[in-house]
Structure 1
Amino acid sequence: MKKSGLRRNLCGQVVHDLGQRILAGQWEPGTALPQEVSLCESMGVSRTVIREAIKSLAAKGLVESKAKRGTIVQPPNCWNYLDPEVLAWQTRADGDGKLLSYLTEFRQTIEPAAASFAATRGSDEHLDHIKEAFEQMERSTEDVEAFLAADTEFHTSILRATGNPFFAPVANLISVALQGSLRVTNRQPSDNRVSIPVHEKVMKAIIERKPRAARAAMKAHLDEAAERIAASTEQP
């Protein structure tokens, strides 16, 4: 059991290392990773660990094993961006802010509908969680990290309140997008205080079960956030 656990831990480390290097562009799409023997020597692990790591990377869409060619790096359109690790690696490699822009577009598409569904379908318990997250935001305006955590909980609570199981897999993506956004737009406590009223409009519309108002409030909030992100990252 100990050996099995150690191997899984080593495998996770190798997956993390190779994944980050692929997304950072160390190996271009269409090129092959170093051979197993070379990877074993450079990373100090066994062939079994390397093979398990390659399988994991293949499941994430980053590589594909091909006969006589080896392990080939796949183009970005094959990568599973909903995979938490892939998303985290891509975020770290996002030097020009383009990924954050794409994530914000995704949020603008998904979250207004989620707010509307939450107002219609959310249980009383779900709505209580949304309200509690908002109240935690109010209490945390002077603490940038605590505010980020409360804001993330606010938005993911809305996704859970939709009652639609297909919203659950995107909660992590929304969380990463929100964290990236807030680190750009909410660097000071004063930024947090400014964002409280717009979140309150969303919260009240959902609590009062007004789906159209909830959709409109969330859209206005995200449109404003997109403008601030574009200004901060000098995106057109």
Structure 2
Amino acid sequence: MTIRKNLCAQIVHDLGRQILGGEIQPGQAIPNESVLCERMGVSRTVIREAVKSLAAKGLIRSRAKLGTTVLPSVSWNFLDPDVLEWQAQTDVDGRLLRHLTQFRLGLEPAAAAFAAQCASDDQLQTIRDAFQAMEGAVENAEDFLVADLRFHTSILHATGNPFFSPVANVIRAALKSSIRVTNRQSAENRKSIPLHHSVMQAIWDRDSVAADHAMRTLLGDARARIQKAGGGKRPSTLLPNPQPESSVQSHE
């Protein structure tokens, strides 16, 4: 990565985190090019590249004579890995995790059912290998996280549906954010092993109904552990209530 790209990435990160953290609210303008150039010690070219990147993520929009403003949250690309990471860094009340779990509940049971029907022998083995890696890593939080991520994304890849595979790469950050909270202790990791085994076995048995049910049970357990962790006790700046379209025009 060149120096210019490094600088651009840092500016994108800084501004993105400010937006997701609520420091710059929807409808507010970000500093203009001159101010950003002076503040960050970079060229206008770097600033323009950073602005384009943030616009591509649905966070901001530039308009002639009106400057660059933050768009309503309904425009933000919540499946963008960077956006998810910035959310996770500022998720003070667990609201993000609840939304991610709802998203997973809408996606992964169906994926497990499709995987049971469509997975190749190699894909079945990849799912089993990931499960066995989880079994061997219950005492190591980071290794368990890696194996758990592999387990869930392998199932998405095994659906045989081309629309699931790209989503698997995008929601990796979502799974990571959720799993880091729900699998903090080895005892909790150990308790989740039978639930993961039920999912894996149903897929191996080519039982789509059982696979759907097992995945719902697994994610229901994850949701219960998120709630047990005490999320939602403080107001959050994350995922603010959508603003009327009239307040900030669409960026399309």
Task: Provide the rounded CA distance (Å) in 1 between the counterparts of 2:127 and 2:150.
Answer: 8
Task: Provide the rounded CA distance (Å) in 2 between the counterparts of 1:177 and 1:17.
Answer: 20
Look up the match of 1:32: 29
1:182 to 2:175 alignment: no
Look up the match of 1:111: 108
Instruction: State the SS of the aligned residue for 1:61.
Output: coil
Report the AA paired with residue 97 of structure 1: G
Report the AA paired with residue 48 of structure 2: R
1:22 to 2:13 alignment: no
**Greater RCO structure (CA 8 Å; 6+ sep):** 2
Identity %: 57
Look up the match of 1:89: 86
* Contact kept in structure 2, 1:123 and 1:161, CA below 8 Å: yes
Look up the match of 2:117: 120
Q: TM-score, normalised by structure 1?
A: 0.94
Look up the match of 1:165: 162
**Residue of 31, 47, 52 corresponding to 2:49:** 52
Task: Provide the rounded CA distance (Å) in 2 between the counterparts of 1:32 and 1:174.
Answer: 30
Report the AA paired with residue 177 of structure 1: A
Look up the match of 1:225: 222
* Contact kept in structure 1, 2:100 and 2:178, CA below 8 Å: no
* Contact kept in structure 2, 1:65 and 1:71, CA below 8 Å: yes
Task: Provide the rounded CA distance (Å) in 2 between the counterparts of 1:7 and 1:45.
Answer: 9
- Superposed CA deviations along residues 114-135 of structure 1, whole A, max 9, x for unmatched, are 0000000111111110000000
* Contact kept in structure 1, 2:84 and 2:174, CA below 8 Å: no
Is the deviation greater in 108-117 or in 81-90? 81-90
Task: Provide the rounded CA distance (Å) in 2 between the counterparts of 1:101 and 1:172.
Answer: 20
Deviation at 1:199, TM superposition (A): 0.4
* Contact kept in structure 2, 1:152 and 1:179, CA below 8 Å: yes
Task: Provide the rounded CA distance (Å) in 2 between the counterparts of 1:8 and 1:162.
Answer: 36
- Superposed CA deviations along residues 119-175 of structure 1, whole A, max 9, x for unmatched, are 001111111100000000011011111011101100000000012121123224533
Identify, as 1 or 2, the structure richer in helix.
Answer: 1
Instruction: State the SS of the aligned residue for 1:65.
Output: strand
* Contact kept in structure 1, 2:61 and 2:69, CA below 8 Å: yes
Q: TM-score, normalised by structure 2?
A: 0.88
Look up the match of 1:43: 40
Instruction: State the SS of the aligned residue for 1:71.
Output: strand
* Contact kept in structure 2, 1:119 and 1:205, CA below 8 Å: yes
Q: CA RMSD in A?
A: 1.5
* Contact kept in structure 2, 1:82 and 1:169, CA below 8 Å: no
Task: Provide the rounded CA distance (Å) in 2 between the counterparts of 1:137 and 1:189.
Answer: 11
Instruction: State the SS of the aligned residue for 2:2.
Output: helix
Look up the match of 2:77: 80
Task: Provide the rounded CA distance (Å) in 1 between the counterparts of 2:51 and 2:231.
Answer: 37
Look up the match of 2:130: 133
Aligned CA distance change for structure 1 residues 59 and 177 (closer, same or farther; 3 Å): closer
Look up the match of 1:193: 190
* Contact kept in structure 2, 1:87 and 1:173, CA below 8 Å: no
Aligned CA distance change for structure 1 residues 52 and 177 (closer, same or farther; 3 Å): closer
Aligned CA distance change for structure 1 residues 37 and 83 (closer, same or farther; 3 Å): same
Instruction: State the SS of the aligned residue for 1:233.
Output: coil
**Residue of 54, 65, 89 corresponding to 1:68:** 65
